[in-house]
Amino acid sequence: MWDSQSLVKLIEEKLQDYLFIVVSNREPYIHTLRGNEIVYHVPPSGLTVALDPVMRACGGIWIAHGSGNGDREAVDKANKVMVPPDDPKYTLKRLWLTPEQEERYYSGFSNEALWPLCHIVYTRPVFRELDWKMYKKVNALFADSILEEVKDKKAFVFIQDYHLSLVAKMLKEKSPNIITALFWHIPWPNPEAFRICPWQNEILEGLLANNLLGFHIRHHCNNFLETVSRAMDTFVDQVKSEVHYQGRKSLVSPFPISIDFERISMEAQAKEVNDEIGNLMKRFNLSGEEIIGIGIDRFDYTKGIPDRLRAIEKFLKNNPQYIGKFVFIQVGVSSRESIKAYKAINKEIDKLVEDINWKYSMGHRKPIICLRENFPQLSLLALRRMARFCIVSSLHDGMNLVAKEYVASRFDNEGVLILSRFTGAARELTDAVLINPYATDDFAEAIKFTLKMPLSEQKERMEKMRKVIQENNIYKWAADSITELVKFQFGA
């Protein structure tokens, strides 16, 4: 079974004197100013949850956009800082973007064009020429920052996600011996969906500059291969899952991303978590008699939060005996609030919460507690421990690590995971209660089924899911990715 030590051993054996660089848009630690004090927090990001333990184990450099108002004060003259701040293990190098660059590259092309294009949730992508031009400029900034570190060294560069699809091509044009891999953290849609992108071929060319392309599941790999086959003059080897383009070969493979199972499971057992459970029970005015469910998400239109709320409303309407006994705690942070679709989803959520609480409150007890807060890890562990069930109702998701974190936290083998079939996690966690979030009546029945599930069945299901995640943890994901990556030879 893979752990941090076995990963370190693999890296020492395979990477040897190669420089290892991870590059992403979002940074793993954000520094902010609190008066005259610089403090830090971990952003709510599945990418950070997954990659930080890997970087702690193997060291190297993580290059990302510095977004905190205290980030510049925390770095040295080379824009670097050792992280984690309380136990330094690797180097975080920050680059800086102007407000216009952030608006057009990140909010614009990345999240109004590529994000809805890849998530089939009926939100129309917005394609603007100015956003695309800025996307290319910012990708070039990331490439230049990487090249500053590589110089004449041997290097493996592990690029993360849809924000940086052009970086590998830009690197190879200036330093063809750099070996690159890109992991695409979101779904890849079918060719008919992706072909509406006006710059489809440029994005595909950027991606095919990578030696290795990783997706969460085989279905997304197949979609990508079919997209390339239809759009480009390439040779696609379906058997080997390879694309040959302009004298280069790109391997396309599924690597289901995961979490540090052992760490989360151990942290969930700490006395501090029990104390925090008591604090949260007081804060929410809970007696301990209630049936508690949780949802932990960014407030994003792909997460199916309105569908979840409608299912809860239907459940309470059909099962009035639970009114006053049922509490669902929805926590998370708002994101991308400058984008019209995100403003709309937040308004819809607020309206649903207000309506449900007006209809189904009993005395001071409201069935929905909705909190837009960046909860610390201790509070999240406590919430997972408190909850009889956790709902993950994504309309389309590459993986969804919230599901895996809930399971990892339940060392007591209790609790039930209600999981959308449209997540990558549903391919692994088959002992969850699987739902179609669009089917409100069935979703409501799944909630009732969950609450009536015998403890023995809860334990059996949870034990099986925990075993799956324990065996397929984040260190195995990293080891599989690195093992494939080092197969490529410089100059090939």
- Going by C-alpha positions, the residue among 84, 77, 120 that lies closest to residue 220 is 120
Q: What's the domain range around 14?
A: 4-258+475-485
Do 344 and 322 lie in one domain? The reply is yes
Asked, for residue 227, whether it belongs to a domain, the answer is yes
pLDDT tens, position by position, 201-245: 999 999 999 999 999 999 999 999 999 999 999 999 999 999 999
Do 64 and 194 lie in one domain? The reply is yes
Do 161 and 187 lie in one domain? The reply is yes
Do 422 and 291 lie in one domain? The reply is yes
| Distance in angstroms (rounded) separating the CA atoms of residues 381 and 262 | 14
pLDDT tens, position by position, 394-434: 999 999 999 999 999 999 999 999 999 999 999 999 999 99
Do 203 and 254 lie in one domain? The reply is yes
pLDDT tens, position by position, 261-320: 999 999 999 999 999 999 999 999 999 899 999 999 999 999 999 999 999 999 999 999
With beta carbons less than 8 A apart as the criterion, state whether 393 and 440 touch.
Answer: no
Do 239 and 116 lie in one domain? The reply is yes
For residue 28, is pLDDT > 90?
A: yes
Mean pLDDT, residues 170-177 taken together: 92
Instruction: Please give the angle made by the CA atoms of 6, 11 and 14, to the nearest 5 degrees.
Output: 120
Is the full-model pTM beyond 0.85? yes
Asked, for residue 19, whether it belongs to a domain, the answer is yes
Asked, for residue 236, whether it belongs to a domain, the answer is yes
Preceding peptide of 176 cis, ω within 30°: no
The total of other beta-carbon atoms located within 10 Å of residue 67's CB is 18
418 SS3 class:
strand
Asked, for residue 83, whether it belongs to a domain, the answer is yes
Ranges assigned E (strand) in 66-160: 80-83, 90-95, 155-160
Asked, for residue 153, whether it belongs to a domain, the answer is yes
- Going by C-alpha positions, the residue among 353, 462, 453, 479 that lies closest to residue 411 is 462
Asked, for residue 492, whether it belongs to a domain, the answer is no
Rounded-to-10 torsion of CA 49, 55, 58, 61:
160
Asked, for residue 466, whether it belongs to a domain, the answer is yes
129 SS3 class:
helix
- Going by C-alpha positions, the residue among 83, 76, 24 that lies closest to residue 59 is 83
Do 230 and 328 lie in one domain? The reply is no
Do 284 and 250 lie in one domain? The reply is no
Asked, for residue 490, whether it belongs to a domain, the answer is no
For residue 11, is pLDDT > 90?
A: no
Helix or strand holding residue 354 (H, E): helix 340-360
List CB contacts of 158: < 8 A, sequence separation 6 or more.
Answer: 20, 21, 22, 23, 180, 181, 182, 183, 481, 485
| Distance in angstroms (rounded) separating the CA atoms of residues 429 and 433 | 9
Q: Beta strand pairing status for 19-23 and 235-237?
A: unpaired
Q: Beta strand pairing status for 326-334 and 242-245?
A: unpaired
pLDDT tens, position by position, 388-404: 999 999 999 999 999 99
Do 333 and 201 lie in one domain? The reply is no
Do 479 and 423 lie in one domain? The reply is no
Do 10 and 72 lie in one domain? The reply is yes
pLDDT band at 107 (very low <50, low <70, confident <90, very high): very high
Rounded-to-10 torsion of CA 257, 30, 282, 462:
10
Do 283 and 269 lie in one domain? The reply is yes
For residue 492, is pLDDT > 50?
A: no
> 């500053």: which residue's tokens?
148
- CATH of residue 354: 3.40.50.2000
If one counts the domains in the chain, the total is: 2
